[in-house]
Amino acid sequence: MGNFLWNLVESDLASGKHKGVVTRFPPEPNGYLHIGHAKAIYINFGIAKEFGGRCHLRFDDTNPVKEEQEYIDSIQRDVRWLGYDWGQHLYYASDYFEQLYTWAEHLISTGKAYIDDQSADDIRNNRGTLTAPGKNSPFRDRSAEENLDLFRRMRKGEFPNGTRVLRAKIDMASGNINLRDPVIYRILHAHHPRTGDAWCIYPNYDFAHGQSDSIEHVTHSLCSLEFEDHKPLYEWLLANMPVPSFPKQTEFARLNITYTILSKRHLTQFVRDKHVRGWDDPRMPTIAGLRRRGVPPEALLDFVKRAGVSRANAVVEIAMFDAAVREYLNKSASRYMAVLRPLKVVIENYPEGAGEELEAVNNPEDPAAGSRKVPFSRELYIEQDDFMENPPKKFFRLSPGMEVRLRYAYFITCREAVKDAAGNVIELRCTYDPATKGGNAPDGRKVKATMHWVSAAHAVPAEVRLYNPLFLRPDPGADGDPVKDLNPDSLEIIEGKLEPALKDAKVGETVQFERLGYFCRDTDSGLIFNRTVGLRDAYAKAQ
């Protein structure tokens, strides 16, 4: 596999350190999953799959004030959509609250934890700084009996929020601030989405995570780099309590992408402040947003794989994501013709009232996809971009006197550009060569351009949503608030003209609009398409 995590698991298995591999994906249900989580999912579920082990889905639901059932549901939906299955192994940290509580009492009884009555401010002030050691709490040497009594009364709900905490007694002078008597339980009179009002004290991340891993006999606890400093605490807790197993934490760098924000805090803000239309807005880097945009799960996973796994802080170019999406869709998406910015074309020598159906290939990359009929008639729409009255030398498309091919149809020649009073071209008068039916000239003459088109009489109107990057700069938020870097033109809504077959497109189906890009039928009612990603365009780039 070529990355350090796969190598680690492989060697742990080869050395006999573990008989099988058990990983876990442990999201907090406080928001929707995004593409950064897709990396963690790929790593944890991917390793389990690769080495014949299993991966648990565990909700790290230790902070009831931020967590909601909606997020629990969306997370399961998104993991499944990515193609992974946790089988029977769906867990919640809250499942272990009773066990965790018992272990906390054990820590207290062995003199390794104490109840601190200091205020949050005092705790902070006495923690010291990055360079100066902290000071012991005046409550640090309470007896085990007193601590136990206080802890039990905390559980009973005798004290209001913030009045006391349980802290592990480790070392207030440690260079690692996480070891300066970390808080492990706090009073939170809050309703929990799963345990309801059963508890008013909750363990925090540090006191829940490693023990949960241990309970589940996780062998490899894989997390992102910012938890590196927590590892000594993770191990201290396991070493000082009667836990059933000793999982090993290993960290990897999280995913960063240019022109993208992957911070739950900011994504939540964009939704809350309506900078986007919701968690599943196609401009969002959420799994739900990407799905709605038309990104196939295979492409998303392929991107994550291509971006690689290491311990170096890195920022992957969004171009790599686009490339993965195009590569997958090129092979799988059916082709159709759609005109986004219509310009009317009248074929003067095509009989009025006449019409015919022409054969069009559904997917040149996949012969099994077959073909379909596309209606042709005297009046058509072509793309405004495909005509220039005064073309520069490298412009191969339509211009007065120029002959081009209409895909699957005929060669046409532009005879005249009709303008309105303001001088805008509003219609093209053209002629066609009946001998070129199907798109080839019997005399062997060539054209330099093949253009897409739709028959005006048969065209189906549709709303097309064009998405551009949500941010104007590759490093949004680098100067502070990413809201200031939001792209005001991230969504452009136009009305396009589609070939009739497209009205039967399935919701969620991603197709190619030839020469334009990949588009996905939206979940909103009506005929609406989201642009997933544009095609590469060497001509546009050269301009």
Partner RNA sequence: UGGGGAAUCGUCCAACGGUAGGACAGCGGACUCUGACUCCGCUAAUCUAGGUUCGAAUCCUAGUUCCCCAGCCA
In whole angstroms, how close is the CB of 65 to RNA at the nearest point?
8
Question: Among 153, 191, 484, 536, which residue sits at the site for RNA (rule: CB under 7 A)?
Answer: 536
Query: What amino acid occupies position 341?
Result: R
Q: Does 229 bind RNA (CB under 7 A)?
A: yes
Binding mask 240-259 for RNA (x = CB under 7 A): -------------x------
Stretch that binds RNA, among 45-53, 326-334, 418-426, 490-498 (CB under 7 A): 326-334
254 vs 36: CA distance, rounded Å? 7
CB neighbour list of residue 514: distance below 8 Å, 6 or more residues apart: 335, 336, 337, 338, 407, 452
Angle at 377 between CA 374 and CA 379, to 5 degrees: 120
Question: According to CB under 7 A, which residues from 402 to 441 bind RNA?
Answer: 405, 407-408, 438-440
Q: Does 127 bind RNA (CB under 7 A)?
A: yes
User: Is residue 180 flagged as an active site residue?
Assistant: no
CB-nearer residue toward RNA: 251 or 485: 251
In whole angstroms, how close is the CB of 522 to RNA at the nearest point?
22
Q: Of the residues 169, 180, 264, 497, which is catalytic?
A: 264
Stretch that binds RNA, among 43-51, 62-70, 95-103, 276-284 (CB under 7 A): 62-70
CB-nearer residue toward RNA: 439 or 500: 439
514 vs 531: CA distance, rounded Å? 12
Q: Does 3 bind RNA (CB under 7 A)?
A: yes
Stretch that binds RNA, among 96-104, 172-180, 453-461, 463-471 (CB under 7 A): 172-180
In whole angstroms, how close is the CB of 34 to RNA at the nearest point?
13
Radius of gyration of the chain (CA): 31
Per-residue H/E/C for 196-237: ECCCCEEECHHHHHHHHHHHCCCCEEEEEHHHHHHHHHHHHH
CB neighbour list of residue 486: distance below 8 Å, 6 or more residues apart: 275, 470, 471, 472, 476
Question: According to CB under 7 A, which residues from 495 to 534 bind RNA?
Answer: 512, 514-515
CB-nearer residue toward RNA: 190 or 460: 190
Count of other CB atoms within 10 angstroms of residue 367: 10
User: Is residue 264 flagged as an active site residue?
Assistant: yes
Question: DSSP per residue over 85-149, as a string?
Answer: --TT-EEEGGGGHHHHHHHHHHHHHTTSEEEE---HHHHHHTT--SSS-----TTTT--HHHHHH
Q: Does 535 bind RNA (CB under 7 A)?
A: yes
What is the DSSP secondary structure assignment for residue 316, as one 8-state letter?
B
CB-nearer residue toward RNA: 4 or 357: 4
Going through 395-477 in order, the beta strands assigned E by DSSP cover: 403-406, 411-419, 425-433, 450-451, 454-455, 460-467
Tokens of 278: 């919701």
Q: Does 537 bind RNA (CB under 7 A)?
A: yes
Question: DSSP per residue over 48-68, as a string?
Answer: HHHTT-EEEEEE----TTT--
Question: Among 10, 149, 298, 365, which residue sits at the site for RNA (rule: CB under 7 A)?
Answer: 365
For residues 533 and 517, the answer to whether their CB atoms sit within 8 Å is yes
Q: Does 377 bind RNA (CB under 7 A)?
A: no
CB-nearer residue toward RNA: 8 or 456: 8
In whole angstroms, how close is the CB of 279 to RNA at the nearest point?
18
Stretch that binds RNA, among 101-109, 118-126, 420-428, 483-491 (CB under 7 A): 118-126
Q: Does 102 bind RNA (CB under 7 A)?
A: no
For residues 498 and 527, the answer to whether their CB atoms sit within 8 Å is yes
For residues 168 and 68, the answer to whether their CB atoms sit within 8 Å is no
Question: According to CB under 7 A, which residues from 8 to 27 bind RNA?
Answer: 26
Question: According to CB under 7 A, which residues from 179 to 218 bind RNA?
Answer: 182-183, 186-188, 202, 204-206, 209
CB neighbour list of residue 187: distance below 8 Å, 6 or more residues apart: 154, 159, 160, 161, 162, 163, 164, 165, 200, 201
CB-nearer residue toward RNA: 281 or 329: 329
Question: Among 19, 272, 274, 394, which residue sits at the site for RNA (rule: CB under 7 A)?
Answer: 394
Q: Of the residues 28, 68, 105, 509, which is catalytic?
A: 28
User: Is residue 378 flagged as an active site residue?
Assistant: no
Interface with RNA: number of residues (CB under 7 A): 93
Stretch that binds RNA, among 146-154, 155-163, 340-348, 483-491 (CB under 7 A): 155-163
For residues 26 and 40, the answer to whether their CB atoms sit within 8 Å is no
CB-nearer residue toward RNA: 281 or 303: 303
CB neighbour list of residue 181: distance below 8 Å, 6 or more residues apart: 116, 134, 136, 137, 140, 167, 168, 169, 170, 171, 172
Q: Does 124 bind RNA (CB under 7 A)?
A: yes
Q: Does 161 bind RNA (CB under 7 A)?
A: yes
CB-nearer residue toward RNA: 28 or 68: 28
Catalytic site positions? 28, 254, 264
